[in-house]
Amino acid sequence: MKIMKFGGTSVGKPERMHQVSQLITKGDEPKIVVLSALSGTTNALVGISNLLAQSDRGGAKQSIDQLELHYRGFVDQLAQTDTGKAKANAIVSEHFEFLNIILRISFSEALNKDILAQGELLSTKLFCVFLEEQGIDHVLLPALDFMTIDINEEPQLGSIKIKLSQILKQFNDKKLFVTQGYICRNARGEVDNLKRGGSDYTASLIAAAIKATVCEIWTDIDGMHNNDPRIVKKTVPIKQISFDEAAELAYFGAKILHPTCIWPAQQTNVPVKLLNTMQPEAEGTVITEDAGSVGVKAVAAKDGITAIKIKSSRMLLAYGFLRKVFEVFEKYRTSIDMITTSEVAVSVTIDNDTHLAEIVKELQPFGAVDVDDNQSIISIVGNEIAQTDQVLQRLFESIAEIPVRMVSYGGSPHNISLLVHSDHKVKTLQLLNVGLFGLE
């Protein structure tokens, strides 16, 4: 059995849903299809939730009505028969009745999660109406029946495996299943979610739970590229990449794949394929345990970075100094991306400045603290990149004109990371595309 996940752009228009139905009916291998919400829906639901949190019920009502109008138009083009249109419109009515009811309920975080879940529930139910209309045999698997997270918001893979296995046994004669990405139940049994990009996570968790033959992630781009195609004119897709390399790229800014998606598939060695719904004949990218080749594969950029430097000639070399510094970040649940040290200073980067003021205040007794915001991490990723001849030379020759704030090298055999001001990000990516890949 294989997993096929389709993102918001892949199901965002009726004609694309029609195309997805053709892709999932090819071949005889049983499939579980994971769908995201229609593109734009989750953002709209977040907006509605924010308006309710601000007690702006009039604004929320206006947004709900606007979103419902969009879905009515979508249904009109999706369904091909009067019966299909009636069923699909009934589904839309059901879910928007819920959204209208919440206008009269006191807002809470639990209610917020219920609101955000409506997108995936709508997309899967509407898609199943179309499949039924086309005579395509299938089963709708409610993700809320098997996808769970624990008290620390971590997926319970063992429980997911047991519950999903029990459900699938009830349908031994079926070959096509449809389920929701993103949504789940938490430790209290309430509707919750796997956070942004969570549909990738859902697909990977299901693939791991059933030990799928492959986990296909279908988007609107033909695989993972060697650079950001939104910024750099000439990029090429990567044919093969290892789990470790893909994890580095996803974490450091490659938007095609959610960082958390790698871990479950890697644990059970399920290959992940990144494919293009709009160009299904394209090879895409395959992610496996085997990197396929040695050398630089891609570069990625991560924005919104803050650099913090603690300078103290008196304390830096003292026993336990770094531990005390890291304990401050641990206290405020703020992860560190990069770290460099010298005899008198230690510099770190963070991508979450929620508790920046408190962190700086607690670091000040250790020495002088300098903060630089609006930074970007540029990561150069490839198999055994640190041991590859001339990579460092080519790298720094390429960006000789760029002022580099920090360099992280040697912590991973797959990654060299640079910290630059965000104003230099685009130029840095363009220069690396020429210097490392020969693409102008």
Q: What's the rounded Cα separation, in Å, for the pair 273 and 326?
A: 37
* 63-114: pLDDT as tens digits: 999 999 999 999 999 999 999 999 999 999 999 999 999 998 888 888 999 9
Using CA atoms, how far apart are residues 332 and 437, in angstroms rounded to an integer? 40
Among 32, 53, 431, CA closest to 227: 431
Task: Please name which of 186, 201, 296 lies closest in space to residue 248, comparing C-alpha atoms.
Answer: 296
* Confidence check: pLDDT of 168 > 90: yes
Long-range CB pairs of 205-208 (<8 Å, 24+ gap) are: 205/147, 205/155, 205/157, 205/160, 205/264, 206/3, 206/32, 206/34, 206/160, 206/164, 206/179, 207/3, 207/264, 207/265, 207/268, 207/270, 207/272, 208/157, 208/161, 208/264, 208/265, 208/267, 208/268, 208/270
Quick one: 211 exposed, middle or buried, by C-beta within 10 A (0-12, 13-18, 19+)? exposed
Query: pLDDT at residue 320 above 80?
Result: no
Task: Write out pLDDT tens, residues 19-42.
Answer: 999 999 999 999 999 999 999 999
Q: Which residues contact 233 (CB under 8 A, 6 or more apart)?
A: none
Scanning 54-156, the segments in alpha helix (DSSP H) are 57-78, 82-101, 109-133
The conformation of residue 230, written as its DSSP 8-state character, comes to: T
At 262 the pLDDT is 86
Residue with tokens 């007794």: 365
Q: How far apart are CA 358 and CA 141, in angstroms?
A: 45
The tokens describing 437, both together, are: 């890949």
Nearest to 204 by CA among 423, 378, 34, 406: 34
Assessment of whether the complete model's pTM goes beyond 0.85: yes
Query: Which CATH architecture group holds 2-220?
Result: 3-Layer(aba) Sandwich (3.40)
Q: Report the pLDDT value the prediction gives residue 247, as an integer from 0 to 100.
A: 85
Neighbours of 271 (CB within 10 A): 19
Round the average pLDDT of the chain to a whole number and report it.
Answer: 91
Whole-number Cα distances in Å, 142 to 12, 18, 21, 41, 136: 20, 21, 19, 19, 18
| pLDDT bucket at 389, cuts 50 / 70 / 90 | low
CATH of region 297-437: 3.30.2130.10
* Domain residue ranges in the chain: 2-220, 297-437
Q: What's the CA gap between 25 and 3, in Å, rounded?
A: 13
The residues, ordered by sequence, that sit 6+ positions from 171 with a Cβ below 8 Å of its Cβ are: 139, 177
Rounded Cα distance, 206 and 157, in Å: 9
Over the stretch 112-121, which tens digit does the pLDDT of each residue have?
A: 999 999 999 9
Q: Is 439 helix (H, G, I), strand (E, B) or coil?
A: coil
Q: Tokens 């990723």 appear where? A: 381
Cα 251 to the center of its chain, rounded Å = 9
